[in-house]
Every structure is written in structure tokens, then in C-alpha cells.
Amino acid sequence: MTTYVYQTIPQAPGEEPRHFEFKQSMNDQPLTQHPETGEAIRRVILGGFGFLSSGKPAKQPPSSGGGCCGGSGCGCH
């Protein structure tokens, strides 16, 4: 079972969304109503970390004589 984060959808100006967690299978459809109150809700997509690979090496940006930021020293290369 996976734990998903949901938030209520504000129905009035100035109303703040409330967040809660709900455990469900990855195969289950996202909830659209709060299981206890019936309020309209939506699943919150949280940031993550992952890799996508096509099996080919990634192309490097063209060199401008100091890395991808033109030698600004940002450390991005």
C-alpha cells in the first residue's frame, strides 16, 4: 500500500486547503471526495528523485569555454 497526500479544494474565497494522508493501492483511482466528510479533494503530487534512461548517453551542452553557464562558477557541470 502506498500513502498519498490529498488536499481539500477550497469552496470559498480565503478558505485554506487542508492536507491529509490516505493509504491505497497504486492501482486504485485517486479519491475525489474526502472519505469522512465528503468534501471535494485532489491528490497532491510531491517532488521526487529519479532517473530516466533511454539506454543512450546523454548529450552534453556545447562548451562555451567554462561549462554550461559560460564560466560563471555556478558548479553546474
Residue ranges of the domains in the chain? 2-10+18-44
* Average pLDDT, integer, range 54-75: 58
How far apart CA 64 and CA 44 sit, in angstroms, is 40
> What is the value of pTM for the model shown?
0.59
Mean pLDDT, the chain, rounded, equals 81
* Average pLDDT, integer, range 48-63: 63
Smallest CA-to-CA distance from 3 within 18, 40, 38, 20 is with 20
DSSP-assigned letter for residue 56: S
* Average pLDDT, integer, range 35-58: 81
Instruction: Dump pLDDT digits (tens) for 6-25.
Output: 999 999 999 999 999 999 99
Q: pLDDT band for position 30 (50/70/90)?
A: very high
Q: CB under 8 Å to 77, separation ≥6 — which residues?
A: 67, 68, 69
The residue with cell 491529509 is: 20
